[in-house]
Chain A
Amino acid sequence: MIQVRQLTKSFGDVQAVSGIDFDVGDGELFGFLGPNGAGKTTTINMLTGLARPDAGTIRIADIDCSRNPKAAQHLMGIVPDESNLYPELTGFENLCFCGSLYGMAKRDRENRARELLERFGLKGASGRKFGGYSRGMKRKLTITAGIIHSPSILFLDEPTTGIDVASARQIRQLIADLNAGGTTIFLTTHYIEEAERLCQRIAFIVQGKIVRVDRVEDLVRQAAGRHVVQFAVGQDAQRLCQVAGDAFPSLECKPLSEDSLRVTSPDPLRIGPLVRLFEEKGAEVTEARVIRPSLEEVFVEVTGIEVDAMKRDKEKAGKGGAA
């Protein structure tokens, strides 16, 4: 359904996307996972026609979108990272207006809008102005607006960022339902649990480059059979990793930030000796967390990025959020 080859985009001196390749199959739910500024939104913008690639090709449903981005827009539903409906229109009016942009006849778009408002639990708010909606409701209506014309491909940019846990859970269920109904979904997120729960395949993108594309189960399988513990050590994580490596050569130790590190072992890990060693070397160990085999672990291993730091970055960027 989507075929991307050597896609490149820079803004001045900043290389936002650097020669990426990937394919998304028909009916697939494909995740694009990376930290803030990794190039996720730029990629979506190029796929949907809001940004022009500097180089590379994009084919969507066999249409060459790098030359004519408008040609495939009728197949796409797009949900941006911020709700961008009209605050002065009601929920119902917003949906009908969005339907009209895709050439839907009046009766068709009104019927579809009613059906979707009911399905998304927004029927009671359909007559209220969008500007007065809560964040979660705004997000749900923005997703609804993205599918009003029943697109074959849905682009979702950070759909659950900045909303409460209950709404995020509801939206995830809606995404799963849409995909089960045959819609191809391209999802960008920085929530690893969300990607793991929803996606069939995932691409990790860091600094504009795809560092890994694989099926979720294959990625998680890679993590299984290893034992991982993450320590909060207060400071000097780099030095402590060296110390741990010298003392326990069978362990692999990786600093995640200035104050945290991760120890991996092929055998069950004994935490006590490690904590004692770190404390002897002047560290103040405040947390030792066993990491279950998960996508998060693979992500950290492949990208070297601490997941908590990625979430903090996103929150600093003013979006908040609940996964």
Chain B
Amino acid sequence: MKHWIAFWNILAKDMRAYYLKPPNISWGIVFPLAWTAMFFIRSGSGLDSIPALLPGVMAVSVLFGTTSMLAVTVTFEKKGRSFERLLLAPIPLELLMFAKTAGAILFGTANAFVPVIMAAVLSDLSGVQWGILLPAIVLIAISSTFLGLFIAVSVSEVFEAQTFSNFFRFPMLFLCGLFFPVATLPFWLRPVSYVLPLTYGADLLHAAVTRTAKLPLWLDFTLLALFCAGLFAVSLRNVRRKWII
């Protein structure tokens, strides 16, 4: 019970101090809006193309929302030494890091629904399989957040966090099958796609919105969950190795 008091307060503090700040809320709305508009205009095929664009825009919103925020907030607190205060608290490291990442997971999940709401206004989403879409978004948010954590633990400056994030984010976007099917990538690039967590998240989003999954759903969910667990475990190991010296 006492640990959960700490968990809840770390999450609430982060939400208030970082995620619910007006610039971040507006960023969470403007960014997916801009992506949606950009792809919509580029497709040139009218409102009918919206469902086809939706998985990509949702994934971008989640990926950028989670990785940017977490990498910056954790690096910022580490640099200001307030993160030491958390490391010195009598709570298990696993719970502490989960509390620090929970805000980003919620923020990323909320970001994903901005394009969904816009699409619901402009298009017919009655064919969407929500039972697949919702867990897929949550898992993408978790894996992206843990990727952000991995980045945050690997750097010491805020600007390094941003640079390092882009090193992962942009290749991932174009190689995960969201905008170009993996099958159309050059032969030598395809193996790279299959080591990216977003490839499996994108496949799930395609399955939920356009029913065009390339892999069995159970495999997508299992692999995505394994990426989440793996990234979290590696980040925890790095925190223990680098921050508890």
- Same complex origin of A and B: yes
Enumerate chain A interface residues (CB-CB to B < 8 A): 11, 45, 48-52, 69-70, 73-74, 76, 78, 80, 82, 84-89, 97-98, 100-105, 145
The one of B5, B10, B82, B87 in contact with A85, judged by C-beta atoms closer than 8 angstroms, is: B82
A14 CB to nearest B CB, Å:
12
Task: Pick the most buried of B3, B91, B92, B93: most chain A CB atoms within 10 A of its CB.
Answer: B91
Find chain A residues with CB under 8 A from B93 CB. Answer: 70
Known: A84-B85, A104-B5. A74 touches B90 (CB 8 A): yes
Known: A52-B245, A86-B13, A86-B17. A101 touches B84 (CB 8 A): no
8 contacts between A and B (CB under 8 A): A50-B84, A50-B87, A50-B245, A52-B244, A73-B90, A97-B13, A101-B10, A101-B90
Find chain B residues with CB under 8 A from A48 CB. Answer: 88
- Number of chain B residues whose Cβ lies closer than 8 Å to a Cβ of chain A: 25
Find chain B residues with CB under 8 A from A103 CB. Answer: 1-3, 5-6, 90
User: Does the CB pair B13–A49 fall under 8 Å?
Assistant: no
User: Does the CB pair B90–A80 fall under 8 Å?
Assistant: no
The one of B2, B6, B82, B84 in contact with A86, judged by C-beta atoms closer than 8 angstroms, is: B82
Complex Cα distance, B80 from A274, in Å, reads 52
Enumerate chain B interface residues (CB-CB to A < 8 A): 1-3, 5-6, 8-10, 13, 17, 80-82, 84-93, 244-245
Complex Cα distance, B8 from A89, in Å, reads 17
Task: Pick the most buried of A98, A103, A145: most chain B CB atoms within 10 A of its CB.
Answer: A103
Complex Cα distance, B8 from A87, in Å, reads 20
Find chain B residues with CB under 8 A from A87 CB. Answer: 80
Complex Cα distance, B93 from A70, in Å, reads 9
A76 CB to nearest B CB, Å:
8
Besides A50-B87, A76-B88, A97-B9, 17 more A-B contacts (Cβ < 8 Å) are: A49-B88, A51-B245, A52-B245, A70-B90, A73-B90, A74-B90, A84-B85, A87-B80, A98-B85, A100-B5, A100-B9, A101-B10, A101-B89, A102-B89, A102-B90, A103-B2, A103-B3
User: Does the CB pair A80–B81 fall under 8 Å?
Assistant: yes
Known: A70-B90, A86-B17. A101 touches B81 (CB 8 A): no
